[in-house]
Amino acid sequence: MREHCGLCGVAGDPEAVALVAEGLHAQQHRGQEAAGLLVSSSEGLKVHKGLGLVSQVLSTMPDGWRTSGIPAAMGHVRYGTFGSGGVINAQPLLVRMAGVQVGIAHNGTITNAAPLREDLERSGAIFTTNSDTEVVLHLMAREMEGTGGHIRHSLELALERLEGAFCLLLLTPSELIAVRDPHGFRPLNLGRIGHSGWAVASETIAFPLCCAEYVREIRAGEILSIPNGGGEPRSGTFDGRETLFGGPCRLSQCIFEHVYFARPGSLVFGDSVYEVRIRMGETLAAEAPSVCDTVIPVPDSGMFAALGYSRKMCVPFDMGFTRNHYVGRTFIDPATARRAAMVTRKLQPIPEAVKGRRICVVEDSIVRGTTSRARIRALREAGAKEVHMRVSCPPHRYGCFFGIDFPEPSSLIANTRTLEQIASLLEVDSLAYLSLEGMLSCVRAHSPCDYCTACFSGLYPVQPPSDGIPRPCGG
């Protein structure tokens, strides 16, 4: 199972359900397989979830949830790949431990989930999903007796056993708890709603729709709890320590959130995704100019890098592809031939925009290369005289263990190939990637060494799972 997801929670506002629903809509790009909403109602915690888009899933939400003044709610959108299970893995998960209801939703990948799960199963734990998120619940449940049924303390003891990438939202009958792992792999942000309400979201693009104003990032290693009824959030452990995870830990924020995953209207790790992508395009133009008549993006993710590239090059930007928005996701289809066919259907060249011209196509990333090759061919068939390609990140050579869905390394076009070999496979007249240093020079809010670049450099900030299989599961 492979996932990459989005989180949204609201506490202290009687419109919490409607606001979380809006926050999930705004983050639909982070996961389209399943969605779910968990509310803290007068009859206890209740969950509603299903397969499909937020609009489909929430259209069958129980009557009255939106209007009954529920003060706290949280939700999740889930990205799953082919065969990654059904509604059983949809989140939030809701359980009762030692008589207390606890709901959880997760973005990231717990890298030591497999051995933890094996241990738990050996000692009798029964799992109902194949998601690593459930491991957290089982670890918490084991601590409940020793902590006298103290949820926060039990959670903190469970968190100390986790490795890898995890942004978590938990809802109990009394509080909404946000957690970010000490490496800060995935983004998580805090927003303020009026005087006593608060919102938490993976991406800040959710905040305007949640009627929230951005306050700050949830810090790496931070545990923040907000009373369901509103009031000041409390940061730190239940017994007053600032952070749970001990000494200093290298920040390892995922740079690929900026390259591809996040929405351009978001702040991610404190930087505007829009501005970072424009700078990536400008830096790419400075590093690898091309002789061309028109710069065109691969929509949608290559759009802003292409804009930056064309501005810096002083070459006109044009839309050379038209996108069919009604074709489903192409990236996850494991059958190469089928994926290529879907890609052709999804993006078609506009002959009038490319015919007889020297085109420079700007793409955010090349992964397997199959879609890129199909696009290059289509441009030539539409009459392009030359096709140059520029990519706004370095070559992807390694797998991700921290929550991005990439195929196994041997399927990555750049895994063992040189630039010339890749250019010849893609059938382009020239090819260049943004350098690692160039990419990192485009972020401003944190230092360049605060980012994980493992998929480009092979330098993993956290030990990969012992089987070495990229398993970006989680929530």
Query: Catalytic residue numbers?
Result: 5
Neighbours of 398 (CB within 10 A): 21
Per CB under 6 A, 33 contacts ligand AMP: no
- For residue 77, the minimal CB distance to ligand AMP (Å) is 14
The tokens describing 45, both together, are: 């915690």
Least spacing, CB of residue 396 vs ligand AMP, in Å: 8
- The reply on whether position 331 binds ligand AMP by CB under 6 A is yes
| Residue (117 or 346) nearer to ligand AMP, CB | 346
| 90 CA to centre of own chain | 16
Concatenate the DSSP letters of all residues of 16-53 into one string: HHHHHHHHHHHTGGG--SEEEEEEEETTEEEEEEEES-
Which residues are paired to 191 by β-bridges? 199, 214
Q: Toward ligand AMP, which CB reaches closer, 418 or 466?
A: 418
Which one of residues 7, 93, 298, 361 is an interface residue with ligand AMP (CB under 6 A)?
298
294-297 and 358-363 beta bridge pairing: parallel
Select 138 or 375, whichever has its Cβ closest to ligand AMP.
375
- Site mask for ligand AMP (CB under 6 A), range 301-330, x = bound: x-----------------------------
Burial class (CB in 10 A: 0-12, 13-18, 19+), 388: buried
Mark 223-262 with x for binding to ligand AMP (rule: CB under 6 A) and - for no binding: -------------------------------------x--
Applying CB under 6 A, the span of 91-99, 106-114, 185-193, 404-412 interacting with ligand AMP comes to: 404-412
Residue 302's alpha-carbon distances to 189, 215, 319, 320, 415, in angstroms, are: 25, 29, 11, 12, 22
Q: Which one of residues 406, 433, 456, 460 is an interface residue with ligand AMP (CB under 6 A)?
A: 406
Q: Is 274 in the site for ligand AMP (CB under 6 A)?
A: no
Size of the site for ligand AMP (CB under 6 A): 17
User: What region, left, alpha or beta, does residue 192 occupy, with left being phi > 0 and alpha being psi -120 to 50 degrees?
Assistant: beta
Cβ pair 81, 473 in contact under 8 A: no
If we measure between CA atoms, which residue out of 30, 28, 74 comes closest to residue 53? 28
Which residues are within 8 A (CB) of 408 and not within 5 positions of it... i.e. 6 or more apart? 399, 469, 470
Looking at residues 343 to 372 of the shown chain, list those that interact with ligand AMP (rule: CB under 6 A): 363-372
d(CA 131, CA 166): 13
Minimum CB distance to ligand AMP smaller for 166 or for 406? 406
Residue choice 8, 218, 404, 473 for contact with ligand AMP (CB under 6 A): 404
With respect to ligand AMP, which residue has the nearer C-beta, 210 or 303?
303
Residues at the interface with ligand AMP (CB under 6 A): 260, 298, 301, 331, 363-372, 404-406
